[in-house]
Amino acid sequence: MMNEHTIQKPVNIRYMAVTAMLSAVAFILMFFEFSVPFMPAFVKLDLSELPALIGAFSMGPLCGVLVCLVKNLLHVLITTTGGVGELSNFVLGAAFVLPAGFIYKRKKSRKTAIIGSLTGAVLMALISVVSNYFVMYPFYTAFLPMDEIIAMYQAIFPGVNGLLECLIVFNMPFTFLKGMISVVITFLIYKHISPVLKGKQR
């Protein structure tokens, strides 16, 4: 006789397996970072939020947050920032995938996926200013004076003055763009991989 625990067990196993797999992919993607011409060289672009967004859509918002958490816990083992960079990365990633997954879960449609993704990308961009201003850049000043950091931004656009202005003009749109790249890729591949992640036959 089957009970509730018997029914739930395969679902839980698949949930854990998909979360672990997506976390591993996200961790690997953290190594494939590169500079972009409109940002200072120390600011890197990677697509490690992509698996987290896919997890948030396919398995629910908590899965996306767990992917962000696990990839950063793994990265702490090789960190060069004493965990500060990983904490910031987790906060931004969670701010991105949590609203995206939550809005999509309430009513699963292409429209809600777009609304959720845009909401998450905007929220991540806004929080990046706060995170960088109060956490990341004060940490960077242990290795590089703030004047030199700001000078690197001014070399690209001389009109910026002060850290906050640099973050608003450069980092905020950069973070939004980073999120939207993951959104575009997710929309291109999600339909093809969703049945596999959910264990459904196509």
Domain layout of the chain by residue ranges: 4-32+45-198
- For the chain, which residues score pLDDT lower than 50? 1-2, 4, 6-7, 202
- pLDDT attached to residue 3: 53
Give the angle subtended at the CA of 56 by the CAs of 55 and 57, to the nearest 5°.
90
- pLDDT attached to residue 2: 45
- pLDDT attached to residue 29: 97
- pLDDT attached to residue 198: 78
Give the angle subtended at the CA of 121 by the CAs of 116 and 122, to the nearest 5°.
100
4-32+45-198 maps to CATH 3.90.1150.10: no
Q: Are 52 and 68 in contact (CB under 8 A)?
A: yes
Burial of 160 (0-12, 13-18, 19+ CB in 10 A): middle
- pLDDT attached to residue 32: 94
- pLDDT attached to residue 10: 61
Virtual torsion, Cα 193, 198, 200, 202, nearest 10 deg? -20
Determine the 3-state secondary structure of 81 from DSSP. Answer: coil
- pLDDT attached to residue 9: 61
| Phi and psi torsions of 48, nearest 5° | -75, -10
